[in-house]
Structure 1
Amino acid sequence: MTEARRRRSPAMSADKRRAAIVDAALPLLAEHGATVTTRQIALAADVAEGTLFRVFPDKEAILRACVGALLDTGAVTAEIRALPADAALADRLTDAAELFLAHFERAGQLMHALVTTGQDLRELDPDDDPGSARTAYFREMRAALAEATGTEAAALRIEPEELAAMLLGQLMGLHLDQDQDRRNAVRRRIDVLLRGALARHEEDDDG
């Protein structure tokens, strides 16, 4: 497609245009990291290169918006909160954990691509307070996982938020080990969190 045809693309609001450019740029980051060019982004977004700079001041601003999109938990936490409330607690937490892992690992892969191509992620923090976006990411994920306990929360020995924090800790270690059946590995950790690591004996039940 020529530059002239791209310039005739349908008009969008600045916010929608920014979102479309970010959506187009994200897959390129996985492939090229920080070496991605604005020309490549423009081609993927099907716009003229000059259009990028009407909604973003420079390439770094585009990368910063991409990092912000990676750390946006809105869609994944909505999926977690939409899990069937009538499912068994272990099943619901397993599904929620898998949703978190898929989101976290996609973000991690793209962040890794940026770092390995020389980008300092501190320069791309979407907030003025360094690290605050990442803190908010885990806080929002923890809250969604806590809500996934549903009505069974009343039967827990600890607060749902504490259980969610423990589960996140387990999952953060799990994502580093790719040589295992992911769902069974998640379920096993959840089973230990819910039931404990010690084997129960008949006399325990009788007592």
Structure 2
Amino acid sequence: MLTHLCFQVVDTKRERARPMSPDERREAIIAATRPLLYEHGRATTTKLIAEAAGIAEGTVFRAFATKEELFDAVMEAEFDPIVFLQEVARIDPDTELRERLVAFTTLLQHRFVSIFSLMAAMGMRKPPSTISDPEARKRLASGGLALLLAPDAHRFTLPVERVVDLVRLLTFSGSHPHISDQRPLSPEEIVDVILHGILKDEDPT
């Protein structure tokens, strides 16, 4: 029995010690670097990154040729819509229209705010040129909402594609700290303006 337990301990340690593949190592370093960039911006050092990732500092440079290459990889990951689209896919398509729109707008606003915050921390006024095909990514993100709205297309006075544009544009401007003058719109405000406008119902009397 004791011998059996010893083998179990050894097997567990071996499993835990499984080395990461190069891609896994890069992803782990990117994940560890992201919160550091929010806090320190371009002043983030490879020593801080190595400590956060639990690796030797030299390992950072085996995964990325330079610190700037790592920073670019973090920005690329931040703009990647895959995680956002996975979250959108979890929105229940059978819920009421307003509820679906609020859920989507909440996710979209969180995505915009994260990107705005990281760009500000990195001293960027526009997306970096290293971002691959930002227009294609925008279309992917918008496509998630188009699918959610499709069942209600007959209720709109505008094509679904235009409704998607309105949601994206109002969420972008209503979430940007400078455009909104530090008074961001809530997802509920954004959705209600799009669905109902700002006029009160006229008194029938």
Give me the TM-score of the superposition, normalised by structure 1: 0.79
The percentage of counterpart residues that share the same residue type is 29
* 1:86-125 aligned within 5 A: 86-115=94-123, 122=128, 125=130
**Bigger Rg, structure 1 or 2:** 2
- Equivalent-residue separation in structure 1 for 2:66 and 2:195 (angstroms): 49
Any stretches of 5+ residues in structure 2 without a counterpart?
Answer: 1-16
Query: Are the structure 2 counterparts of residues 161 and 120 from structure 1 closer, same or farther at C-alpha, using a change threshold of 3 Å?
Result: closer
Partner of 1:143: 143
Query: Are the structure 2 counterparts of residues 139 and 82 from structure 1 closer, same or farther at C-alpha, using a change threshold of 3 Å?
Result: same
1:26 aligns with 2:26: no
Q: CA RMSD in A?
A: 2.5
- Equivalent-residue separation in structure 2 for 1:190 and 1:121 (angstroms): 27
* CA positional deviation for 1:16: 0.5
Residue 115 of structure 1 aligns to a residue whose secondary structure is coil
- Equivalent-residue separation in structure 1 for 2:126 and 2:187 (angstroms): 32
- Equivalent-residue separation in structure 1 for 2:117 and 2:67 (angstroms): 20
- Equivalent-residue separation in structure 2 for 1:200 and 1:35 (angstroms): 54
- Equivalent-residue separation in structure 2 for 1:120 and 1:33 (angstroms): 15
Residue 149 of structure 1 aligns to a residue whose secondary structure is helix
Give me the TM-score of the superposition, normalised by structure 2: 0.79
How far does the alpha carbon of each residue in 1:80-121 deviate from its partner, in whole angstroms, 9 at most, with x for none?
A: 1221111111111011001111121112111110017xx996
Moved more, 81-90 or 14-23: 81-90
* CA positional deviation for 1:201: 4.5
How far does the alpha carbon of each residue in 1:47-94 deviate from its partner, in whole angstroms, 9 at most, with x for none?
A: 111111111111111001000110011111121122111111111101
Larger relative contact order (C-alpha < 8 A, sep ≥ 6)? 1
Q: How many correspondences in the alignment?
A: 185
Partner of 2:192: 191
Any stretches of 5+ residues in structure 1 without a counterpart?
Answer: 1-8
